[in-house]
Amino acid sequence: MNVPESDILRYIGVKIPDESIVKKVAEATDAVLKVAEPKGVYKKFAYRNGVLTDINYRLQGTDIIKHLGNADEVVVMAVTLGLKVDIETARLNKISETRAFLFDAAASAAIEAFADEFTDGIAAEIGSPVGDRFSPGYGDLPISIQRDIQTMLSADTKIGLAVEKNHTLIPLKSITAIAPVGVKRCLHHDCKKCNKTDCAFRKE
C-alpha cells in the first residue's frame, strides 16, 4: 500500500515540512503499515433512478443520485484497516499526544489509499471502470445507512466491520461507499463541486 506523504501532511496542516516532520511522518506511516490488516468487501448492483433494483433498496437524498448519474450499475463497498490500528492509537495516546496525532493522520491517509487501491481492484475484477466513491454523510446521503451497507455486504462477518448506535464504524479507520460502474475515477477532484466543507483536503 502506497500512502502519500502529501496526504498526511495535509491532514496535520503542514504545507512546507522540515526534515524533522518528514522523518516523523515516515515513522508514523511505517508504524501504521506494521499493524494494519486491510480488508475489503463489495457487491455490484443494478441501478436505476436512485434504486438498487436487485434488492429494491432506495438511496436517500438527491446528492448521491446526482453523483451516480446515468449509471446502470453501482458498486457498494466497505474497507477497513482492522482493529489493531485502533488499539495502537489508544496505546500511543497514553505515551505521546504528538505520536498519536501523527499515527492517526497516517492511518487516515492509509485507509483512503487502500480504498483507492480496492476500488481499482474492483474495476479490474469486473472489467469495467469504477467511478468516485460517495460515502454516507457526504451531502444529504444520511450517515444512518452505514448499517444498511454493513448488512447488504455482510461486512460484519466478512471483514469484521461493526456499526455503533451513533453510526460510527468500528474499526475507526474504515470506509463505506457507493460508486458508479462504467465511469472512470477522477484523479483531480474539483472541491468547488463538493459540499463536504469540513474535508481536510478541501482547497480554499
Mean pLDDT for 104-130 is: 98
d(CA 173, CA 131): 22
Cα 86 to chain centroid distance, Å, stands at 16
Altogether, the residues listed in the chain come to a count of 204
d(CA 137, CA 141): 6
**Can you read off the three cell numbers belonging to residue 8?**
498526511
Q: Write down the pLDDT at residue 51.
A: 98
**CB-neighbour burial class of residue 127 (10 A; exposed 0-12, middle 13-18, buried 19+):** exposed
What is the share, in percent, of the chain residues with pLDDT greater than 90?
89
Look over the chain and give the mean of its residue pLDDT values, rounded to a whole number.
93
- What are the pLDDT digits (tens) for 123-164? 999 999 999 999 999 999 999 999 999 999 999 999 999 999
Mean pLDDT for 100-115 is: 98
Q: Write down the pLDDT at residue 144.
A: 96
Integer angstrom CA distances of residue 148 from 36, 59, 112, 144, 162: 25, 10, 21, 8, 11
Q: Write down the pLDDT at residue 156.
A: 98
189 pLDDT more than 60: no
Helices and strands in the chain: count of H runs, count of E runs: 7, 7
Domains, the chain, in order of start with CATH, read 5-193 (3.40.109.40)
Q: Write down the pLDDT at residue 202.
A: 52
Q: How confident is the model at residue 50 (pLDDT cuts 50, 70, 90)?
A: very high
Q: Write down the pLDDT at residue 197.
A: 56
Integer angstrom CA distances of residue 5 from 75, 85, 115: 29, 18, 16
For CA atoms 118, 32, 188, 58, give the dihedral sign.
positive
Q: Write down the pLDDT at residue 87.
A: 98
